A and B are shown apart, each in its own frame.
Chain A
Amino acid sequence: MDMTEPTDALLNEPLIVVNLGLAGFANSIEEQDVVVVQVDWLPPAGGDQEMIDLLDKLL
């Protein structure tokens, strides 16, 4: 592990955010001069829970 704890870095270094979901959350963070990547998230495998479980097992 680095000399710095990851939480110390979180509190003291600039944030770089990946936003999964609501674009409004990304916008409000971006307006505070923070770098944000907006992910327009989609449910995996068409949202079929059985298929997700199956894929999780296979991968």
Chain B
Amino acid sequence: MSEERRTTAGTPARSTGYVIRPDQYYDSVFLMGVNSRLSKAAGVRQSAVLMGSQANKALLADIGIRARAIDEASANDLVIAVVADDAQAVDVALKGVDAALLAVETGTTRSEVHTLEDGLRRQPGANLAVLTIPGEYVYPEARQALEAGLHLFIFSSNVPLDQERELKRLAADRGLLVMGPDCGTSIVGGVGIGFANAVRRGAIGVIGPAGTGLQEFTCQVHHAGGGISHAIGTGSHDLSDDIGGATTLAALEALERDPSTKVIAIVAKPGGERTREVLISRLEACGKPVVACLLGVTDREPGPGLEWSATIDEAALTAVERCAMAVPRPASALTMTDPGLGLQDDRRRAARQRYVRGLFAGGTFCYQSQQILSRAGLKVLSNAPLNEDRRLQDPTQSVGHSLIDMGDDAHTRGRLHPMIDATLRAQRIVAESLDPEVAILLLDVILGTNAAPDPVGDIVAAIVEGRGLRPQEAGEVTVVASICGTEGDPQDLARVAQALIDAGVHVFWSNARATEYCLARLEGAN
């Protein structure tokens, strides 16, 4: 195997270098894990570990790394590039590449099977294909899976809308379900796929495009003593007018027929106007009780079997009540913080502290919190705003009340999602802690399969660091967090909650309640 390696001594303050490993393909999560290690090497300002696709080469050019060998690299060649303080730092970092690759590789299993066709040969009875490959390659593989009679769960994002539409059309012809693209979670017959929480099985079937919205709903049902028959993720574009709710409507029909589902819930952002109307008439005609929470749709009249909920919590409680299976809430490991502590925080606040800053891993949490605060009359800005006129100019700079979706494209390009890697969010926690106008920090913590094994270690360290750096006269920042998870999740809910409480964080088990608590504390501030 030949390897191309080059270090360029640039200006005294900046050197760059790269390594190309031909014919070494790795998936993006693996590469981002390697990048995360490389970026921590001494003197490294920026690093990139990626496959040599056209889009990635453009990214490298953007950070000032250009070379003929990079231009000639293919999508099967691994490219590692570093920008550092000096040539020596570049050299040391690039020499550490093998160690970083090995460290991330340890624990990952390798398979002998490399194509869908071979996979199907091994398991001819397969009924579900799960796709996490880059979006540009999804269509032919997904089509092949549908033609072989498999349902699909497509986690991959960046699948062109015309391809999504075509896949959903092909699926409809065959009576198959396409969960996704850009689908974070589903629970099918008790089996969690993607990012899912360990929830009780039961009689509530739920449909939703958003990953964290579905996770929150299933956890709230679990906490209220209910259970989930199926949770069908539909993908973030399904309710757009381009797609027309193809998967949502198919899932609704399936849950309507499903004998184990007694109540159907839908948790989603409002979607396209045309699609919303079609969906609502379909919900009204559903043969089973329906609980609808289309975040932001609050002006609808309930129908005979259709009830509306403004928040995910309310939707979950209503669904549990409709099942007539509510049991007393089990004693939970999650201790609620003493409400009196909040009042103490209020007293320790300086006059300039007026704003709430939300830093979210879950897009739905960012959305729901904006709604709750906006409904209370606050002007809230966001990088993922409810309306365009509330868009934050620079997602990295909060202004006034700002709620940031840290999982948006700008924060995740070439990086792991904040549900897996808290590095960026930790940095932002420190930055917000130093802003004299900040009164409250609002966070979400998401547990479940495939989420970070320790979701709060970096966050707690950042809270403590921020508190230490903040001048005493600036007053104290109240930190509030919601946990989306159950006692059955691999991260150990009790330990996570205790770590937050020990760091002085006010902990709630739903995003809506945490947000309402912020509102109460803000009233103390203004």
**Across-interface contacts of B196 in A (CB, < 8 A):** 28
Contacts of B240-280 to chain A: CB distance below 8 A: 250-251, 253-255, 257-258, 260
**Known pairs A7-B175, A47-B51, A47-B75; A40 contacts B127 (CB<8 A):** no
B361 to chain A, nearest CB (A): 17
With A10-B128, A38-B109 in contact, do A28 and B450 touch (Cβ < 8 Å)? Answer: yes
Let me know if B132 and A20 touch, CB within 8 A.
yes
Contact pick for B76, options A10, A16, A31, A47, CB 8 Å: A47
Of the candidates B141, B174, B194, the one whose C-beta lies within 8 Å of that of A25 is B194
**Interface residues on chain B, size class:** 35 or more
A40 and B111: CB pair below 8 A? yes
- A44 adjacent to B189 (CB under 8 Å): no
A29 close to B130 (CB less than 8 A):
yes
Contact status B109-A18, CB under 8 Å:
no
Contact with A along B154-166 (1 / 0, CB 8 A): 0110000000000
Q: Is the CB of A18 within 8 A of B123?
A: yes
With the chains together, A11 CA to B257 CA distance in Å? 10
Q: Separation in Å of the B389 CB from the closest CB of chain A?
A: 38
For A10, list chain B residues within 8 Å (CB): 127-128, 151, 177, 188-189, 254
Please state if A43 and B151 are interface contacts (CB–CB under 8 Å). no
Give the CA-CA distance A52 to B260 in the complex, in Å. Answer: 44
Q: How far is the CA of A18 from the CA of B278 in the complex (A)?
A: 34
With A10-B151, A37-B113, A39-B111 known to touch, is A5 a contact of B254 (CB < 8 Å)? yes
Asked if B120 lies at the interface with its beta carbon under 8 angstroms from chain A, I say: yes
Give Cα A48–Cα B155 distance, bound, in whole angstroms.
23
Q: Are A41 and B114 in contact (CB under 8 A)?
A: yes
Point out residues on B near A: beta carbons under 8 Å. 25, 27, 29, 51, 53-54, 74-76, 108-116, 118-120, 122-123, 125-134, 136-137, 140-141, 145, 149-151, 155-156, 174-177, 188-194, 196, 229-230, 250-251, 253-255, 257-258, 260, 449-450
